[in-house]
Amino acid sequence: MRQPWRVAIIGGGITGLAAAVRLRDRAPAGTEITVYEQSGLLGGKLRTGELAGQAVEFGAESFLMRDPAGGESAAVTLVRRVGLADAIVHPTVGQAALAVDGRLRPVPGGTLVGVPGDLEKVAAVAAPAADADRDGGRPLLGPDEDVAVGALVRDRLGDQVVDRLVDPMLGGVYAGRADDLSLVTTMPALARTARVEHTLVGAVRAAQAAAPRSPGSPIFGTLAGGLSTLVEAAARESGATVRRDAAVRELHPTPTGWRLVVGPTRDPELVEVDAVLLAVPARAAARLLAGPAPEVAATVGELDYASVALITMALPEPELPGLSGFLVPATEGLLIKASTFFTTKWGHLRRPDGLALLRASVGRYGDETSLQLTDDELVATVHREVSKVLGTPLPSPVASHVQRWGGALPQYTPGHLDRVAAARTALRAAHPTLALAGAGYDGVGIPVCVRSGETAAEEIITALGGSGS
């Protein structure tokens, strides 16, 4: 293998940047790492902006602190690695509400993403079906089976539990519907126990009992200066050459590695590298894979995405309840699907002038008509609907911002992880120096994306001939 190694990372989101840091730490000294980002900004769905003089998240807001298997999450480890551990802050108000029948009710405790482990605890929000969850004498799921979360929960506990609890909670993360989303991908711990337990409540309790305990430790964290500080620090620490406004349009295998076609069609730049790490959304990946691995491209390209918009408003001294925010089930007939009271939830954002920052999201998979509204219409709709849910008119905003995220949230249907595993196996066999990483494959959360980028970096190091450290 030629020295030093030349590795191209395509995609400057958190996955690509975590991969760049891992390559810097584990690949031989002198490895030339280049990150190609098609837009003018690094970070992808991590984007800290400014509203009314305050740093606000226009994309992802926070990360899980703990890894589901125990220990700190990969996001926290990366934050430490790039020297930002002291900037981690946690929500000061954690209680959220559900808007049900036009009223706000506390999100019940003891659930796994809305799937109850105790039916009494959820009764105020959703009544389970009368003959709910009888033991049918066998496990809920077969050994290799995957189902839609909604199908399983509707079957065991009835429609209300899905429509009023599970759907809004899953929708808050994926902008998708419980009836479409894969149990194995979105709720792996529950999928594991459902292969053993005979009732859903039993499976939830078993999953909760199996989860590593960390009493008192905060669930979520963010960075006081905004998540873009993580993006900048990761780029800096990786020592990678960062190429902004540099879309990679084609990938061609060569006898010794890869040739990239970068930039505009009328003036393309050809770049030779030894290995490529593809950290772009699935559709972009499918386009690049169409030449070198058409079957893998077809599998990867099947993944569908939901589009959302986030509307942030600065409001002068509104009367807000002491909540982090609320979720809105689709059955309520509103356009908003969630709202976060930023300045209540995050103590570090509180302002002496009493100005409150509130963010709402619109856009559900399969029903994206709300995204056809203009920015002004979206702000007016959010203002009207949040006032309605709170039962009190909000003051007029002094500033607002609309961030549209087109095709942003992957919709993992049943069998997703098996399809991804098969695609990766086929790719590894044909092209070991080309690795896939990111939210399109392993999961949507920041820690999962970080881990995905790091794992792909390790694969490339192995393919190129092992670690230099």
Ligand X SMILES: Cc1cc2nc3c(=O)[nH]c(=O)nc-3n(C[C@H](O)[C@H](O)[C@H](O)COP(=O)(O)OP(=O)(O)OC[C@H]3O[C@@H](n4cnc5c(N)ncnc54)[C@H](O)[C@@H]3O)c2cc1C
Interface ranges with ligand X (CB under 6 A): 10-16, 36-39, 44-46, 59-63, 247-248, 279-281, 284, 308, 310, 405, 408-409, 438-439, 444-446, 449
**112 vs 175, beta carbon nearer ligand X:** 175
- To ligand X, the closest distance from the beta carbon of 256 in angstroms equals 22
Residue (37 or 197) nearer to ligand X, CB: 37
Cβ closest to ligand X, residue 205 vs residue 345: 345
Closest residue to ligand X in the complex (CB): 44
Q: Edge to edge, what strands does the sheet with 96-100 contain?
A: 103-106, 96-100, 325-327, 336-341, 355-362, 304-316, 399-411
Give rounded-to-5 percent helix, strand, coil for the chain. 35, 25, 40
> Which residues partner with 272 through β-bridges?
259
Cβ-based nearer residue to ligand X, 16 or 108: 16
CA quadruple 104, 106, 112, 116: dihedral sign: negative
Residue 28: is the preceding peptide bond cis (ω within 30°)?
no
CB of 139 to ligand X, least distance (A): 31
User: Smallest Cα–Cα separation from 423: which of 303, 258, 305, 304?
Assistant: 303
Nearer to ligand X by Cβ, of 39 and 396: the residue is: 39
Residue 452: count of CB within 10 angstroms of its CB: 25
Q: How far is the CB of 32 from ligand X (least distance, A)?
A: 17
Is residue 206 a contact partner of residue 200, using CB atoms and an 8 Å limit? Answer: no
Question: What's the min distance (Å) between Cβ of 409 and ligand X?
Answer: 5
Return the ∠ at Cα 136 (arms to 166 and 147), rounded to 5°.
40
307 or 381: CB nearest ligand X:
307
Minimum CB separation from ligand X for residue 113, in Å? 14
Residue 407 Cβ, how far from ligand X at the closest point, in Å?
Answer: 9
**Among positive and negative, which fits the CA dihedral 451, 452, 453, 454?**
positive
